Amino acid sequence: MNRTTRPLPPIAAHVDAELARLDREINWLLALSPIHNDSLWSDFKDSGYRTIGEFVYAPVHLDLDAARESLFALPMEEIESPLLAPLLVEKQRELDRQIELIRFRETDRFLQTSLDLFGGVEPGLLELAQRILARVRPSSPLEADAGIDAVLEAVEDDVAWYRSRVADFSMQVEIDSDLNSMMMVSHGTFYVDDGICIPYARVQPLVQHEIGTHVLTRHNGRNQPLTQLEVGLAHYDPLQEGLGVLAEYLAGYLPGERLRMLAARVVAVDMVIQGEDVPAIFELLHGTHDFPSDEAFDVAVRARRGGGLTKDAVYLGGLRDLVDYLNDGGAFEPLFVGKFALPHRPVLDQLIEEGWVAPPELLPRYLSHPRASERLQACRELCVEDLFHEEPCR
């Protein structure tokens, strides 16, 4: 495949680089992740699941006013290309909303800012989530026999596999004792909870979600003239998370409870938008939908963090939109050129023609599996509520 590219025009290149620099500084996801969650959970249990304590966050060291001033000092009106200008202006606005998310953390202005950035829960998505909760049951129970050592071994093996193909593939790993998720990637760093304990059959699918999607697309974006494909064009989250969940299916094991978890997040976000807090969300998920108490609590806290972070609805929404795209015959490999939103696909084709985007340097490791084509074809034929495994694939 031809990877010949050319540099961006000077002003566009300057704006692109500055937006990327600001994106790296505005680590909004960590700023909105509560800390001391064990204490929060313990106090919630002691209250009989009736009251939730105050959320505690790490200090914010970013000068928000200075970041916003730098953002709006950029010469957006002077960008030379009418193709690049809308993409960069769109990213400028997204970064402004992210700064405001941090500024309005735990205030009554936070939820509206989150809705402006991520959207809410449209009726069709809520209906899909409710269908999944009603119809999909947990898969065959498996022993949680993999801890931090097994996860780190799988991560090291995955990184080595990519480096055997491209020498400059890189990723930092941080072990965290107070993480809001079992594992996650933020700004190219792979974070894993040191107390992680999951079935071994889930290790590879989750690693493929994080590394085979988030780290891989960042690597491919890093090699593009348009730097935004490394840090992410505006509103890239739904496609990224849709690809991440699909990676779990293509890696051989997306259990029913995982699909139910995505549906629960949609319901929890909708409840937060309606003004409900952690106890009510917990009661619905644990009492009505039979989620384990710790999982119900985690979903509720994730939706409530910051004052109502609606991002969690994009996992199921992104998966639904990606499956629709594949059902319509959409090409799969071009989705890995970097981080972008699915509606950007036609623009990316034009950017490739202009020489500002090249095909992906690396593709996910799971596509090297002997049954990868068969599994991908299945994704082109299934509806979302059927996209799960009752037991791990052989």
pLDDT, tens digit only, all 394 positions of the chain:
345 799 999 999 999 999 999 999 998 988 999 999 889 999 999 999 999 999 999 999 999 999 999 999 999 999 999 999 999 999 999 999 999 999 999 999 999 999 999 999 999 999 999 999 999 999 989 999 999 999 999 999 999 999 999 999 999 999 988 776 789 898 889 999 999 999 999 999 999 999 999 999 999 999 999 999 999 999 999 999 999 999 999 999 999 999 999 999 999 999 999 999 999 999 999 999 999 999 999 999 999 999 999 999 999 999 999 999 999 999 999 999 999 999 999 999 999 999 999 999 999 999 999 999 999 999 999 999 999 999 999 7
| DSSP β-bridge partners for residue 389 | 255
User: Does residue 391 sit within a domain?
Assistant: no
User: Does residue 393 sit within a domain?
Assistant: no
Residue 178 three-state SS: coil
- Tokens in use for 291? 């989620």
Give me the half-sphere count of Cα atoms (radius 13 Å) on the Cβ side of residue 340: 25
Task: Report the C-alpha gap between 226 and 12 in whole angstroms.
Answer: 9
The secondary structure of residue 381, as a DSSP letter, is T
- Hey, how many other C-beta atoms are within 10 angstroms of the C-beta on 221? 26
Question: ∠ at Cα 240 (294, 351), nearest 5°?
Answer: 170
Q: Which amino acid is at 157?
A: D
- Tokens in use for 245? 């969940």
User: Does residue 5 sit within a domain?
Assistant: no
Task: Report the C-alpha gap between 122 and 182 in whole angstroms.
Answer: 28
pLDDT in tens, 299-357: 999 999 999 999 999 999 999 999 999 999 999 999 999 999 999 999 999 999 999 99
Q: Give 393: exposed, middle or buried? Use CB within 10 Å, 0-12, 13-18, 19+.
A: middle
Compute the Cα dihedral for 196, 319, 237, 121 and give only its sign: negative
- Hey, how many other C-beta atoms are within 10 angstroms of the C-beta on 290? 12
User: Do residues 231 and 195 touch, judged by C-beta distance below 8 A?
Assistant: no
- Tokens in use for 90? 């769109």
User: Does residue 392 sit within a domain?
Assistant: no
The secondary structure of residue 255, as a DSSP letter, is B
User: Do residues 264 and 298 touch, judged by C-beta distance below 8 A?
Assistant: no
User: Does residue 1 sit within a domain?
Assistant: no
Q: Give 70: exposed, middle or buried? Use CB within 10 Å, 0-12, 13-18, 19+.
A: middle
Instruction: Name every residue whose Cβ is closer than 8 Å to that of residue 160 and which is 6 or more positions away in sequence.
Output: none
User: Does residue 50 sit within a domain?
Assistant: yes
User: Does residue 2 sit within a domain?
Assistant: no
| Domain, as residue range, for 284 | 10-386
The domain total for the chain is: 1
The secondary structure of residue 173, as a DSSP letter, is E
For residue 33, how far is the Cα from the chain centroid?
A: 14
User: Do residues 211 and 159 touch, judged by C-beta distance below 8 A?
Assistant: yes
pLDDT in tens, 145-170: 999 999 999 999 999 999 999 999 99
Q: 2 — alpha (psi -120 to 50), left (phi > 0) or beta?
A: beta
User: Does residue 327 sit within a domain?
Assistant: yes
Angle of the 237-250 helix axis to the 256-273 helix axis, nearest 10: 160
